[in-house]
Each structure stands twice: as C-alpha cells, then as structure tokens.
Chains A and B, each alone.
Chain A
Amino acid sequence: MAQQKKIKQKLSPEKRKSLLKRSIPIYIMALPGLIYMFINNYMPMPGIILAFKNYKAKYGIYGSKWAGLKNFKYLFSTQDAFIITRNTICYNLVFIIVNTVFAILIAIILSELTHKIKKVYQSVILLPYLLSAVIVSYLVFAFLSAENGFINNSILGALGKDPVSWYQEKQYWPFILVFVNLWKGIGYNCIIYLSTIIGFDRSYYEAAAIDGASKWQQIKSITLPLLRPTVIMLTLMAIGRIFYSDFGLFYQVPQNSGALLSVTNTIDTYVYRGLIELGDITMSAAAGVYQSIVGFILVMAANIAVRKLDPDSALF
C-alpha cells in the first residue's frame, strides 16, 4: 500500500492521464459486475431497517412503527440459542478445515496428472457441486433409508449387523454432514487451488528437480508456501460466512427429521422452522442483520490477526 502511494505521487499528471486511459477498457469490463453488485448487494441495504420495525403492509416499510430490538428477542430467548450457535460455528469451522485440506490435496493430485484424464476427473469431481440440495438429499436417502437403503441392506446386511435407523440416531450425523458437504463442495473448492497451482512458475520445480528434490519435497517446499496467500484469502472469506449455514445441507439432507435436531439445527433452519408459520419478515430480517453483523466482526478480527502474523497476506 505504502509503496503504491509513493509511486502514484511520483507520476506526472500526463502519465497519470495515460494510465487512466489505458485502464478504461478494464473498468468497462468490470462494469457489469459492479452494477450487479450494486443492485444486488447495496440497493437492498436500506431494508435493514425492517429488522427494527413493526411492519404493516398498509403503512409500508418506512411508515411502520419502530419496534426497537423486539424482533431479535426470539433468537436469544431459549436454551436453543446456544445449540444453534454452537452447531453453526462448529460445523463451519470443521468444514473450513476439512474442505481446505482436501481441496488442496485434490488440486495437487490433479495438477500432477496428464491433461486428458485430468479434465475427466475434474468434471466428475465438480458434478456434485452442481446438484441441488434436494437431489443430494435423495441421493443420501438412497444410502441411508431404513427400509430400502443401500447401507442397511447391502453393507450392514452382508456384514451380519443390525440395520440402523439413520434418520433417528443423531450420533452419526456430524460425520454424515461433514462428508456430504465435502463430497458436494470439493470439486468447486479445488478449482481455485488448481488454477493457482497451474499458474506457478514451472522453473521453480525444474530447478528443484535438478537439485534432486523428490515430489514430496517439491510439494512441501514449493507448492504449499506459494499457495499460502490463496489459502489465507479463501479462509478469511469463509470465516466471514461462519455464521451462515448451508440451508439445503442442514434442512434437506437430514430430511427435516425431528430426532436429529440437536445436531442439525443451525441458525438458518431455526429461523425457518420458527417462521414458516408466522411468515414474519421482520423477524427473518432480524436474523439476517444479526448474522451479517457477527460475520462482519469475525472477518475484521480474522483479518487483523492475519495482518499481525503475515502483513502481506492480509486482505486489507
């Protein structure tokens, strides 16, 4: 940052002008994205006040009476508040760690493969990411159904073990959810790492090979250190979303089974379950505001931590 500032100050006005001229096409290219972001992320922002309103359609958003923090009360009113917060944060932490480790692993393996097969593998791994959560939930159901499921009939049966009522036994679900999430997301996660790895200067590896470095040594000493900024950036972004949960994963995949609630209820599913009958948009908005604020604080905190440890890798 500081260096950039110095360079800018040194530039003469003419040079600055020509630099600007050269960047115009780039700005134009970015324009659709910026417009989209403005419409989608900034224009609805005044809607935040809904969370503090006692909304009546007759008076509109701005005309409705203020409700103070009443709309937030339900999020904290019971012992469930602890469970849903714990579930949301712990699952996301595990997801971040497991997904990053496996995504890097797969990305490295893919980068070492020859071209033709790589494309096939890459597509196959990516495919689950493109499925909707409802379809995923039925794929999982095909394995776990108590009566007709693959695991109960073909695996546990063959091993001579008793069938398990998967949708009523909560002790298995933390593992099932982590696995399903990994299976679904890994293809997408590894694309970014793969593209970063491919972008590395091959001469590092050539030099290492000449010096007699093994594959493992190359990975440990070249690939991983070079990947560090990408890992930090993606992790920071993931931390910002740590207070959100993948609704499809936590609601659809366990088939909304009540018995599993204590391990599958997250903030999003709690809000959905509570409000599906009330249909109260102000309370939904309150949950959204709460998640956004905590997410914002977490990103800032994580970024400060990173800046302390490794200033170059910090986002801002």
Chain B
Amino acid sequence: MKRKLMALLLSGAMVCGALSGCGQGGAEKADTATEQSEDAGAEDAANSSEDAGESTAEATGDSAAAEEAIQARKDSGETPTVVIAYMNFAGSPAGIDRISEKLSEITEEKLGVKVELQIMDAASYSQNMNLMLASGEQVDLFNAVSVGFMPCVNKGYTLDLEEDDLIQNYGQGILNAFRTNEIDGCRVSGTLYGTPVKKDDAAGKFGISIPAALLDEIGFDYNSLYKDGEEIIYSDFDTIEDIFTKLHEAHPEKTVFYMDVSSVVSQCLAIDIPSDNFGVLLNPTESLEIEDLFESDQYKELCQRMYDWNQRGWISPDAITETNATTVQVKSGSLMAYKTATKPGIKQQESNLCGEDMIIFQLGPDFKGSSAYNTMPWCINQNTDDPVAAMQVLNLLYTDPDASTLICWGEEGVEWKETGDGHITYADGIDANNSEYFNNVNWEMPNQFIAKIWEGNELTIWDRMQEFNDNATASKAMGFTFDNSDVSAEYTALANVYSEYQSQLELGFINPEEGLPELVNRLKEAGLDDYMAAKQAALDEWAAANGVQ
C-alpha cells in the first residue's frame, strides 16, 4: 500500500519534473557551457600552475575563470542559491536556517552565491535523496553516503566533474587537497563523478568500546596497557573475554555486548568488500581473487565466536530486534560494551556520543579497503542549473576554514566557543542535548581537517589521521567499485537470502555448524556464483585498466 502510494507519487512527481525541466533548463545550461569554454583561456593555465605551488589551506583555486564567474555573478545582481544536502543521525537540526544564513554570508561575499542546507536523518536520507534526484527538485550538491555512489552514477544523477574542465577551472582547491590516486578513487570507467572527503580512509578492525567507569568497577587496569601516547589499547580476544566475564558477573542484569548487524562484516574482518558482501577479497594485499565470504574461515570463526558469546549470556535475547544505536544503549545504562571501527580521535568521538569516558580496545589490524575514497563522495546533481556555482561552493567548503568550521560545528558563540588553547568546546550553557547544530558527522563534511578542533582531541589529530591513512594495510583493489546493474536481479535475491540469516548468525543465535552450510546453499541457489563471476570479470577489467596485478 505504502509502496504503491510512493510509486504513484514518485512517478507523478517525475512526470511534472520532466515536463517542467525541459522548458527552462536547456537554455540556461547552454549559456553556462559557452561561458565556460570562453573563460577557459590561456591565462587560466598559468594561474593554476601558480596555485599548485601553494599549500593546501591557502589554495582556494581562484583561477581567472573562477574570478570572472564570480564577478559576472555579482554584476548581474542575481544571487543564485546552491542547495547542499547531507545526512546526520538526528534529523534536521533546529539551527539549520541560521547556519545556512551564516554560511550564505560567507559565500555571498566570496562567490556571490547563497546556500541552503538540507539535512536529513540517516534512516530517510537514501529514500529522500532518490526522490529528490529523480523528481528534479533542486539539490545541487549532495553527499552520496547511504544513497550509494554507484547507484547514483548508474542512474545518471551525478554530473561529470570534468565536463568542460569544470573542476580544473573552478575546483582547484579540491584537487590540491588530495593526491591524484584519492581523486581517481571517485572515477567510474574513467569519468570523475565525485570528490572524496577528508576523513579516516582506513579503519581499525574489531574495535571494542567500554565505559572506563565499568572497567574501574571490575578492577581492570587499563592505564598500564596504553602504549606511549596512544588512545587505543591493542589487545586480544582472551583479554576481552576475560573482561566480559567479569562485567557479566558484576552486572548480570545488563547486556554485555551488542553490535549493529549492518556493519559486522565490514568492521570486524580485515577483508576487502568491494561494494557488497557477495564476493569479497579474502586476501586483499596479495591477490585479486573474488571469493565467497560465507565459506571462508574468517567468517566462520566470527560466527563461532558470537555463538559462543551468546551461549555465555553476553548478548541480549532481544538483540535481533534492537533498533537503538549502541551509544544510546550505553547512555541509558542497558549496555556495557559494543563494537566500533577505530581511527584517530575515536576515543573522543565515542566518549562524546556516550556522554562518559570510554576506553577503546582494538583486536584487528588497521585496514584500507577498495572503497576507502568513494563511500561518501560529494557529487553535483546533473540537473543543477548552475554547475559553476555549485563547484565553487564545494571548492570553498574544501578550502575555507571558516566555512568548514561553520558546517562542521555551527556558529561561534552560539554552538561553540574558543577554549584559549586552540580548541573549541560547547558555548556557555550548551551541551550535546540542547545544541541547535551538533551533527557529529564531520567525516561526511568535505574537509574537516581545516575546521577547528573540538576539545579532547589533540591539535595534531589531522597529522595523525594522515599517518594512520598512510600506514594502514591497503587492499590491492583500492579504488575499484563494482557496477552491479547487469546482475541486479541476482543481487536482490542474494540480499533477501542473506537478510534471513545475517542477524542470527552474526549475533550468535544459531549454531554456525548448522546455519552456515544452509546459508551457503541458499545463496548458491540464488545465483551467488554468477554474481561473483560478474564481479571478478569487472575487477579483472579494472585491474588491467589501472595496471594492478
């Protein structure tokens, strides 16, 4: 019923969108296209080579073409509005209009453009974005997280950023902020459809987060386990199981451990998962062979361990139907430990989210998978009226510290204040609960590296992040994305079979000795072999094109 209604609404909206879209869009686009080709003169080439010498933070990419575009916009007396869409976990924050205005003040002065923020919660973001992009509603810049980069590209929602040298002319700051291979991670068949974000590209596998207060209570000495200056304790399963045993004895009424099922495989196993779990690289540093995750020893071991933990009573009998975020469960006092992917700054991030001091253990290695650069790229809608303005706004967000701070943390004096030692913290009388703009999704923002640093993190955090990214073990398939549009029927069937077993196996509710062979058979029936063959073929092709062996 809901689906039908949505389908009807959607198609209705699209018919209207398609009709109204044809009328005006064409002419304007043609205009900007000619403008661009005129602008892209010789001057510009000289200018950009100068830019390249400058450091990242200063290089705003003000090529001659960019200056001209800004001047033309200001002369015309019209200020176009660029709509920026991204997701958070709590839905549109109360301060969204104020932050939009503040950001517009910066963009109006520097670019002659206004901006409007559209923030949606994680649960509805994908659906809303699909609707907005399909219906032709105005959204110029959007983050492809959750919607999926490949699906967006497949459906043609994303603009080719190198069309008429768009990014070269108006987005030099973006190009300067990354290495070439990072930018290349957002290419699909050679075409650049998005820009990566400055974030943790690697992830520490199988991190476990436990409140310090609980560890104190059971008398676990964590302080001596820290190696110099590190915020994460590198540990092993024996230690963790020992802690869990004691926690369970001390608080039998609380749940010991829970993990969000959707990210179990990706955050616990050091394997490369190109696009989805159906066909993975089990040994991604050595070979490019696509193998079946569900027949692997790694997966079996994980399920076996969870089954064991479940048998010991560490996992809640209601875990399968749990819908609250782990950090919310810790906050409410019903949960004592949960899984997280680690990175520099993780201790502060989790402590912020849980509202108390958290201790982070890590049981796996630091690992960088094929999708490191394109899980959440920023894209320009192909339907945008003014691609130049959109690109310039994006460029500004990558290069302007004030704009970046504003979109990451909100307004000075309202959401945050300076602490005096280079950090920022909550403004007076403000906390995580009553702040009007506290998204905590800076990993999704274009460039958090140039924003101000929240209290509790070291001022050198971004250097450490860079180091972390560089030192992590990287998959050989870095930058590969699987376009599954030709095998989407198989994918749908596989996804359905997997969802039948996923939470039961990965939270240890069924014995893997029985459940796993059943799952493997059902997946084979649903066409896993064909799907993996298609993925392998695509990977081989990609490897040949990129010179990877």
Contact = CB atoms under 8 A, between A and B. Distances in A.
Are A and B bound to each other? yes
Interface of A: 39-41, 43-44, 46-48, 50, 55-62, 73-74, 77-80, 141, 145-148, 165, 167-168, 241, 244-248, 255-259, 261-262, 265, 268, 270-281, 283-285, 287-288, 291
Nearest to B21: A60
A57 B495 contact: no
Q: Is the interface of B mostly helix, strand, loop or mixed?
A: helix
A273 B492 CA distance: 8
B276 interface: yes
A33 to B, nearest CB: 17
Contacts of A58: 156, 382
Contacts of A275: 492
Given A74-B488, A257-B503, A168 B509 contact: yes
Given A44-B12, A279-B126, A284 B7 contact: yes
Given A56-B155, A272-B3, A74 B492 contact: yes
Interface in B1-29: 1-4, 7-12, 14-15, 18, 21-22
Interface in B284-332: 316-318, 320-321, 323
B80 interface: no
B156 A56 contact: yes
Interface in B503-540: 503-504, 509, 525-527
B337 interface: no
Contact of B8 (A40, A168, A259): A40
B151 A278 contact: yes
B51 to A, nearest CB: 31
Contacts of B7: 47, 284-285, 288
A281 B485 CA distance: 12
Interface of B: 1-4, 7-12, 14-15, 18, 21-22, 126, 130, 133-134, 147-148, 151, 155-157, 276, 316-318, 320-321, 323, 382-383, 484, 488-493, 495-497, 499-504, 509, 525-527
B15 A43 contact: yes
A280 B151 contact: yes
A146 B320 CA distance: 10
Contact of B12 (A43, A78, A147, A241): A43
Nearest to A257: B320
B155 A255 contact: no
B500 A77 contact: no
B321 A57 contact: no
Which A-B residue pairs are the 4 nearest by beta carbons?
A: A47-B11, A274-B492, A74-B489, A56-B156
B488 A278 contact: yes
Nearest to B7: A288
Q: Is the interface of A mostly helix, strand, loop or mixed?
A: helix
Contact of B492 (A79, A145, A283): A283
Contacts of A61: 14-15, 18
Contacts of A147: 316-318
A258 B495 CA distance: 11
Nearest to B152: A279
B321 A255 contact: yes
Contact of B527 (A39, A77, A265): A77
A247 B318 contact: no
Interface core residue of A141, A278, A285 (most chain B CB under 10 Å): A278
A295 B316 CA distance: 43
Contacts of A261: 496, 499-500
Contacts of B525: 78-79
8 contacts: A58-B156, A80-B526, A141-B321, A167-B318, A257-B321, A259-B320, A259-B503, A261-B500
A176 to B, nearest CB: 14
B491 A77 contact: no
B463 to A, nearest CB: 35
A277 to B, nearest CB: 7
Contact of B500 (A41, A56, A141, A262): A262
A265 B495 CA distance: 13
A47 B135 CA distance: 12
Contact of B1 (A39, A146, A247): A247
Contact of A265 (B321, B496, B526): B496
A73 B486 CA distance: 11
Given A43-B12, A77-B489, A259 B496 contact: no
A57 B155 contact: yes
